[in-house]
Structure 1
């Protein structure tokens, strides 16, 4: 009798595990409908042979990340609109926003994930649908929030491959230099022209691709992660800033809050940087107009007198980002580009802006995808 019960239990458990394995492996392609429109919000300067800085502020949603092909379709539509308006040439530097690559973590998942009502529920579906990957990532997770670390780490190898194929492919397709926003990966590096991951801490990093679709230099790691991310994402302790040569001039990348630190501009000036790209992201619907919350989690630079709550979040970004504002920065021009859209219950804010010769140009309309162009 005991053997019969044991056999019955074993068969039932095997059946349940088999059904679960089949369910987890099933990835039906859901219906996809997305707005491919984008408006030219800011167009400054006169076309010449010196090239231009072009910021793409996309409006993205979870369904845009169901596959790299779908995300390519949307971003390529934006670039095609820019090309149709004569904004792309061999010296164009295109800048995408922070974390535009990070959400590749949800690519190729089940419909239940995209239909979730909250980010927490979506991450639960991510783990349940990839049990082995999640367990392996959880074992090697680091930092104060092991769950967030595991969610970001579990598909890192595929994310790195998709990130390079997608954004390098767009750079080559449209013959431009592309600052591919940012992506969170463990110990990212470029080895023999390929973006590779390591086994260490997670870093929010940006890669620049040339018009042949190849990465230029090493990934730029963020020095000062957002306070809420610091438990999972590590800051670049070396505080090194990479500079790359582009057809439009020497380019430096400051990710998000790194653009609030005057010392970073001095480091770029020391390397004769002419252009500064700032991929950025502000979480929370309406946060742009709410009081600025300061340098949460880190000490403000001695030269910064702005206090928490004195101005709005948006005003703080525009005052602290010193691109082309002598003596804070000697760069010729700079651009800050923000990620917009809705990721489950997580809204976004941020309005992209340009700087040139001490002047700032911004678009006051926060709705819809936007192009911001500056002729050099």
Structure 2
């Protein structure tokens, strides 16, 4: 009787495991509708032979990331609209927002994940749907927040592959130089023209793709992750500033809050940067209008007199992002681009703007997809 009971229990357990394995392998694509429209927010300057700096503020949702093909469709529609307006040429530099690549961690998942009500629930579905990858990542996780580290690390090789294929493909398809926002990866680097991941700390990094679809230089890693991310993300060296050659001029990238530090603009000046791209991301639907909370646990630069609560978050970005403000920045122009959209119960904020001749230009509308163009 006991043997029969053990046999029955083993059979039931095997049946459960097989059913679970089949369930995790089943990834049907659900119905997909997405708004492909984008509005022109800023068109500053006059067309010239020096090219242009074009910011694309997308509006994205979890279902846009169900596959790289879906995200390509939406971003390609934005770029086609820019082409129709005459904004794409051989010397165009397009800038996308911070973390536009990070959300690729949700690509290829089950419908239950995209239908989740909260970010926490979506993360649970991510782990349950990829048990082996999640356990392996949890074993390799680093830092104080091992759970979030594991979520970001578990699909890193696939994320790097999709990131290069998607954004490098868009750069080649439209014949542009593309600042591909940013993506969180472990120890990212470019080797033999391919974006690779390592086994070390996670970095929020940005990569520039040329008109041939290939990476230009190495990933620019963020040096000052905001306070709530510091228990997950590593910080690159303070002097790790690089400038890449583009058809429109020498380009520097400052990710998010890195754009708040005058020392970074001086470093870019020393390397002859003529253009500055700022991929940015702010979490919280109304965060742009709330009181600025300061440098969030990081030291305030001596040159900065702004105090927490003195201005709103949006006003602080305009004050602290010093692109094209002499003598601190000698760049001809810059663009700060924010990711807009709703990811489960987490909404994003931010109002993208162009910087030129010491002034900032935006259309006063935060929501929706936006194009911001600066003729150089």
Structure 1 and Structure 2 fold alike (TM over 0.5): yes
Secondary structure class of the residue paired with 2:203:
strand
Match of residue 292 from structure 1: 292
Match of residue 172 from structure 2: 172
Cα distance in 1 for partners of 2:48, 2:263 equals 32
Cα distance in 2 for partners of 1:153, 1:239 equals 26
Match of residue 36 from structure 1: 36
Cα distance in 1 for partners of 2:238, 2:369 equals 35
Match of residue 348 from structure 2: 348
Structure 1 gap ranges (5+): none
Cα distance in 1 for partners of 2:239, 2:152 equals 23
TM-score (norm 2): 0.99
Matched, 1:17 2:43: no
Match of residue 309 from structure 1: 309
Matched, 1:228 2:224: no
Match of residue 67 from structure 2: 67
Q: CA deviation at 1:8?
A: 1.1
Match of residue 111 from structure 1: 111
Q: CA deviation at 1:269?
A: 0.4
Cα distance in 2 for partners of 1:355, 1:233 equals 28
Q: CA deviation at 1:237?
A: 3.0
Cα distance in 2 for partners of 1:161, 1:239 equals 28
Q: Which runs of 4+ in 1 moved over 3 A?
A: none
Q: CA deviation at 1:9?
A: 1.0
Question: Which residues of 2 match residues 41-60 of structure 1 at below 5 A?
Answer: 41-60=41-60
Cα distance in 1 for partners of 2:120, 2:80 equals 35
Q: CA deviation at 1:2?
A: 2.0
- Contact 2:239/2:267 (CA < 8 Å) preserved in 1? no
Secondary structure class of the residue paired with 2:267:
helix
- Contact 2:96/2:180 (CA < 8 Å) preserved in 1? yes
Structure 2 gap ranges (5+): none
TM-score (norm 1): 0.99
Cα distance in 2 for partners of 1:245, 1:39 equals 29
- Contact 2:52/2:373 (CA < 8 Å) preserved in 1? yes
Cα distance in 1 for partners of 2:29, 2:183 equals 24
Cα distance in 1 for partners of 2:293, 2:43 equals 31
Match of residue 181 from structure 2: 181
Match of residue 258 from structure 1: 258
Match of residue 327 from structure 2: 327
Change in CA separation of 1:11 and 1:50 when aligned onto 2, cut-off 3 Å: same
Secondary structure class of the residue paired with 2:122:
helix
Cα displacement string for residues 281-337 of structure 1 (whole angstroms, at most 9, x for unaligned residues): 011001000000000021111110100000000000000000000112111101100
Cα distance in 2 for partners of 1:191, 1:241 equals 19
Question: Which residues of 2 match residues 202-217 of structure 1 at below 5 A?
Answer: 202-217=202-217
Secondary structure class of the residue paired with 1:342:
strand
Question: Which residues of 2 match residues 87-98 of structure 1 at below 5 A?
Answer: 87-98=87-98
Match of residue 363 from structure 1: 363
Change in CA separation of 1:138 and 1:206 when aligned onto 2, cut-off 3 Å: same
Match of residue 80 from structure 1: 80
Matched, 1:267 2:267: yes
Secondary structure class of the residue paired with 2:147:
helix
Cα distance in 1 for partners of 2:177, 2:21 equals 43
Identify which range, 222-231 or 71-80, moves more after superposition. 222-231
Q: CA deviation at 1:239?
A: 3.6
Secondary structure class of the residue paired with 1:347:
strand
Cα distance in 1 for partners of 2:358, 2:138 equals 48
Q: CA deviation at 1:238?
A: 5.3
